[in-house]
Structure 1
Amino acid sequence: MTKTARRLSSYALPALAGALLMGAAAPALAQNDAAFRATTFSLSAYGETNVAPDMATITLGVQTQQATAAEAMKANGVQMNQVMAALKKAGIAERDIQTSNLNLNAQYAYEQNQPPKLTGYQASNQVTITVQDLKKLGAAVDATVNAGANTINGVSFGLKNPQVAEDAARLEAVKALQAKAELYGRATGYKAVRLVNLNEGAGFSQPTPPMPVMAFAAKREMADSTSVSAGELKVRVDVSATYEAAK
């Protein structure tokens, strides 16, 4: 082979490879171009359902203050053991009681132009309990307070199995999405002819707001036992979709 032939061959091979690659990419480019030319509706909607909760979580505990760290922890331990015993006696299973916070802090008095003065130590121990039977919630709160619990951060309600409520919300979300597609079709003269994709966003359950400790205290002054109203949970699911539309 002559030098000229070899030179032409070296140029021809890359050109041929490039042509093959362009030929292979042509169908994909055509598909993307067709998709770009298609008329689509990109819509979003949500569905909601209300359901009565069947469980609750509440965080409560004991706070003690003594002159020394050891005394504060010891007093806290004695009082907390009484609270734990009261919880179990009220029907709360041990697996539903979990320590969520344990702190020991030095306490100081501050005066102007004076260095901080140590006044003692504060120990706090909190547990988060899950109440599987809401009928036991008020009694459990009463039992713990009577046993020495002096901090209650709040109560929140939930569902043991949220699947049923979430599926109901999903059905409502899809109905709302389809209704919106039909509405836009009437408004534009196009009709949604094909569902291209459907995406589910982040849903949520909106519980009854937690009841602060002051609300519990007020109720205790008005009644022999704490009354807690569970209300309803609002379960929501968000969806989005793309519809192909045609005249």
Structure 2
Amino acid sequence: MTNTARRTAAAFVLPALIGGVLLMGAAAPALAQSSTEAAFKATTFSLSAYGETRVAPDMATINLGVQTDAPTAAEALKANGTRMNQVMAALKKAGIAERDIQTSNLNLNAQYAYEQNQPPKLTGYQASNQVTITVRDLSKLGAAVDATVNAGANTVNGISFGLVNPQAAEDAARLEAVKALQAKAELYGRATGYKTVRLVNLSEGGGYMPAPPPVPMMAFASKREMADSTSIAGGELKVRIDVSAVYEVSK
């Protein structure tokens, strides 16, 4: 073969090789696109459900404190400190651990009298000290409230109930949520003529544990008038877990 013939043959082989490489390179995106299209063609159910469980609380949180008024700031703070020390001692005597008593607010404010067409007139100072206490033995709850009020606490902002360890209640709610989810998938399957092939995705949207509304000081006062010891009922807490899932289904 002459040199001219060899060059001509090589010229025909090179484009063929390049074309082959290009065709092979184009095959990968085509396969990926085919796989994606197949996934989108699958019929799925996107469903959500929730599970709930009710459980008695085993702890309570109370916000209470002392409010004092005096002509001067120093006198207001001194009177407040004296009464607050008595409240702290009463809490500890009632069985509340020191780690469960936390100062949540401390304020000192000037008090003024306002008259029409007159500048504000300073009348004194008001000191306020609030503590948040956690009661882990609910049998001591009423006695703890009584002890603090008798020791000088004159503000009780509210009470809320909770669980020391909510894990068991949350897990029970999760089981109920999954049962409800599966039942819903079966129901939709019967209604549409599809059957579940597999669970594609399962996610938890979060759970919550609503507490009963805070009980204001007026409620405590009215109970104290009718009984020697404050009566407080914890009732039940509702623990809820939300879940959502995607099921692949087929005819």
Work out the CA distance in 2 between the residues paired with 1:18 and 1:157: 69
Is 1:153 the counterpart of 2:148? The answer is no
Q: Which amino acid aligns with 1:235?
A: V
| 17 and 99 in structure 1: CA distance in 2 versus 1, 3 angstrom threshold | farther
| 34 and 90 in structure 1: CA distance in 2 versus 1, 3 angstrom threshold | same
Work out the CA distance in 2 between the residues paired with 1:30 and 1:116: 80
Match of 2:37 in 1: 33
Work out the CA distance in 2 between the residues paired with 1:171 and 1:205: 16
Q: What are structure 1's unaligned runs of at least 5 residues?
A: 1-12
Whichever of the two has the greater Rg, that structure is: 2
Work out the CA distance in 2 between the residues paired with 1:226 and 1:17: 86
Work out the CA distance in 1 between the residues paired with 2:24 and 2:61: 67
Match of 1:120 in 2: 124
Is 1:143 the counterpart of 2:136? The answer is no
| RMSD of aligned Cα (Å) | 1.9
Following superposition, the deviation at residue 19 of structure 1 comes to: 7.8
Equivalences for residues 99-118 of structure 1 within 5 A: 99-118=103-122
| Structure 2 residue matching 1:193: 3-state secondary structure | strand
| 37 and 227 in structure 1: CA distance in 2 versus 1, 3 angstrom threshold | same
- For residue 207 of structure 1, the aligned residue among 211, 221, 242 is 211
Q: Which amino acid aligns with 1:220?
A: R
Work out the CA distance in 2 between the residues paired with 1:178 and 1:73: 62
Is 1:221 the counterpart of 2:225? The answer is yes
Deviation digits for residues 17-70 of structure 1 (CA, Å, limit 9, x no counterpart): 8983x5443343323211211111000000000001111110100011111111
Structure 1 segments, 4+ long, off by >6 Å, are 16-19
| 17 and 57 in structure 1: CA distance in 2 versus 1, 3 angstrom threshold | farther
Name whichever of 233-242 and 102-111 sits farther off.
102-111
| Structure 2 residue matching 1:105: 3-state secondary structure | strand
Work out the CA distance in 2 between the residues paired with 1:186 and 1:92: 57
Aligned residues: 234
Identity fraction in percent: 79
Following superposition, the deviation at residue 161 of structure 1 comes to: 0.7
| Structure 1 residue matching 2:249: 3-state secondary structure | strand
Q: Which amino acid aligns with 2:90?
A: A
Work out the CA distance in 2 between the residues paired with 1:27 and 1:131: 64
- For residue 90 of structure 2, the aligned residue among 83, 86, 90 is 86
Work out the CA distance in 1 between the residues paired with 2:185 and 2:224: 53
Work out the CA distance in 2 between the residues paired with 1:106 and 1:205: 40
Match of 2:81 in 1: 77
| Structure 1 residue matching 2:176: 3-state secondary structure | helix
| Structure 1 residue matching 2:232: 3-state secondary structure | coil
Q: What are structure 2's unaligned runs of at least 5 residues?
A: 1-17
Match of 1:232 in 2: 236
| TM-score w.r.t. length of structure 1 | 0.90
- For residue 193 of structure 2, the aligned residue among 189, 192, 210 is 189
| TM-score w.r.t. length of structure 2 | 0.89
